[in-house]
Chains A and B, each alone.
Chain A
Amino acid sequence: MSKHRVSRRQFLNYTLTGVGGFMAAGMLMPMVRFAVDPVLKGEDAGDFIATPLKVADITNEPQKVNFTFTQKDAWYESEETGTAWIFKNEEGKVIALSPVCKHLGCVVDWNTDKKNQNRFFCPCHYGLYEKDGTNVPGTPPLAPLDVYPTKEKDGFIYVGKAEPRKGA
């Protein structure tokens, strides 16, 4: 037996404090978690959506990249697929273009028209865009393709909400 004798009263005190402490912590922890939750979320990329494209894999040739996000439309919340054409321009800057034709909203493709190499081509009404997204005058579209703001995080490209640009 040790020299330090614990009395019955002391023993009960210790155990009660211990158990009570655990119970209080169990109740408080989730509350604290809820309170600081916005701070924890702040580390996320915000409104930026992750794409499966690695920064290292971006080339000078536009690549079609699909990404998914949830969209809320009054009653429905649905998983939507977005697409971006991502490439590096001559200065090495990463460009992400929206594939939605500015004419009537079809989906444009890169380099599919044999007569117009290295341009974005809209199959609906034969609209054309240069590689940087500028609309080719004389074809139906009146504005350049929208641009996604981009961000790099953990080696992957994140895209924000597509923004329109001024017409050519």
Chain B
Amino acid sequence: MKWVAADVEMYQKAAEYVDTAVIPLMPVSFGEDMKQNASMAEFVGILTGQIEKQFKGRIFLLPGFVYIKGNEGSLKALQEWENTLLDKQFKHVFYVTSDSSWRHHEKELSGDLLWLPSLPLENMQEQQKVSIVDDQVKQLLSLFTEKWQDE
């Protein structure tokens, strides 16, 4: 489910079935790495969109967590998100990002961090893009099902 009115309506009827929240982490900066950060946000957005499509009934895809790259407050802000989410319905929280700086904070978060290097999708052909993203998505899907089976 996505953060849109129609899906939220569905969520409210079936909240007990939706126990996993997914948050894309998207960095923003205006320095030299501007393009790289945009590419990360784009890639993570597409990836999480595809995951949501596959697991629509059990995953709630939240709007992206946008932060200024290098800002020290973002970890705290994310922890607040986490507390809110785990407090309510959600049992699992997954973060999907291409920003490697989160890997240093993995232990400080109770959710699972899925880090993938971003791919330069803007230079690819349509077909190639789809098959590469599909491949990545497939690998991520198994991480979700494994987590669910561990319960």
Q: Interface on A for B, CB 8 Å cutoff?
A: 81, 101, 103-107, 122-125, 140
Q: Interface on B for A, CB 8 Å cutoff?
A: 10, 14, 17-18, 53-58, 130, 141, 145, 148
Residues of A close to B53: CB separation below 8 A: 107
Residues of B close to A124: CB separation below 8 A: 17, 55-58
A135 to chain B minimum Cβ distance, whole angstroms, is 14
Is the Cβ of A104 less than 8 Å from the Cβ of B54? no
Q: How many angstroms between the C-alpha atoms of A71 and B53 in the bound complex?
A: 16
| A-B pairs with beta carbons under 8 Å apart, 24 shown | A101-B57, A104-B14, A104-B56, A104-B57, A104-B58, A105-B10, A105-B56, A105-B57, A106-B55, A106-B56, A106-B58, A107-B53, A107-B54, A107-B56, A122-B57, A123-B148, A124-B17, A124-B55, A124-B56, A124-B57, A124-B58, A125-B17, A125-B57, A140-B17
Chain B's interface: helix, strand, loop or mixed, by majority? helix
Chain A's interface: helix, strand, loop or mixed, by majority? loop
Q: How many angstroms between the C-alpha atoms of A105 and B55 in the bound complex?
A: 8
Residues of B close to A107: CB separation below 8 A: 53-56
Q: A106-B57, A123-B145 are in contact. List 20 more A-B contacts (CB 8 A).
A: A103-B57, A104-B14, A104-B17, A104-B18, A104-B57, A104-B58, A105-B10, A106-B54, A106-B56, A107-B53, A107-B54, A107-B55, A107-B56, A122-B57, A123-B148, A124-B17, A124-B55, A124-B57, A125-B57, A125-B58
